[in-house]
Amino acid sequence: MIDKEKLLQRRKKQVEQIEDKAFKKVYCLYRVSNNNQVDDDDIPMQKKACHEFAAKQNNWIIVKEFYEKGVIY
């Protein structure tokens, strides 16, 4: 008799392998580097642009997003 837990683990691993092949995992970095960008709140615009771009690509999925305010003088 097959152990149900082992069978579930095997199925889960198979699904993960299929998902890994089906999608390109993408990280996004949103960054401001000058005072004008900080004043204009540029990060939401960058995020929107990145999401729109990723949506147009074949099988891209954004899995992590990073925010960096940069160094302002």
Q: Where are the domains of the chain?
A: 23-73
Instruction: Tell which phi-psi region holds residue 59, choosing left (phi > 0), alpha (psi between -120 and 50) or beta.
Output: left
pLDDT at 51: 93
Q: Which residue has the tokens 């089906």?
A: 22
Residues of the chain with pLDDT under 50: none
pLDDT at 72: 58
pLDDT at 29: 94
pLDDT at 37: 59
pLDDT at 44: 87
Residue 47's nearest CA partner among 28, 33, 24 is 28
Number of H helices, E strands in the chain: 3, 2
Contact 63, 27 (CB under 8 A): yes
